[in-house]
Amino acid sequence: MIKFAVVLSGSGVYDGTEIHEAVLSLYAIQKEGAEYSIFAPDIAQHHVINHITGEEMPESRNVLVESARIARGKISPLNEFNADNYDVLLFPGGFGAAKNLSSFAFDGINCQVNEDVENSIKAMLERNKPIGALCISPVILAKVIGDGIDLTIGSDKATIHAIKSMGATHKVSDHGEIVYDRKYKVVSTACYMLDATIDQIGLGAENVVKKLIELV
């Protein structure tokens, strides 16, 4: 059975994983007859956002612990990820990808990528195994890979400019559409980088998962 490793970045769109994207990705993986394990870096969350007001809250949280909410407790630290044991690596979106897995939200093209995240990506590339990225998470691949890799985050001009500045190629996409880079076996879709409904998120997640399975 095909095995996915899904990397989360917390719990909640404004400071962690986009929950709809994560859950619908997991649903699509099982629907297509594959299985998954969930990972997250064991690090402090950059900050905590009140998801009603959008204001920062005076508390601290851990990315692994918060991600465990989505994983129903079945989760491992990302530093334990072994690419030999998995066929596909998948990153849902949410601001956590740009705040916790990387510093893109604050540093733009000069961002740093979490060491465990970068190691997991490079390990899959070395083994010629496919990688999927939803929403804002393709910026991580632009930073780690560059080299003209084809990616999409939809149509946001500022983010497109940043992706190009990091050496990647951007393809504009609409709801549910995927962009596939043949050289690196990377599949991306825009999801909530567009003004999307939950069924459109499900379509994008399903299309990415189906293409990734084809590539195994």
Torsion angle, alpha carbons of 98, 164, 177, 121, to 10? -50
Run of H or E including 115? helix 115-126
Domains identified in the chain and CATH numbers = 3-215 (3.40.50.880)
Q: What is the pLDDT along the chain (216 residues), one digit of tens a residue?
A: 999 999 999 999 999 999 999 999 999 999 999 999 999 999 999 999 999 999 999 999 999 999 999 999 999 999 999 999 999 999 999 999 999 999 999 999 999 999 999 999 999 999 999 999 999 999 999 999 999 999 999 999 999 999 999 999 999 999 999 999 999 999 999 999 999 999 999 999 999 999 999 999
135 classed as catalytic: yes
Angstrom distances, CA of residue 187 to CA of 96, 130, 155? 20, 8, 17
Among residues 28, 88, 124, 135, the one annotated as catalytic is 135
Question: pTM for this structure?
Answer: 0.97
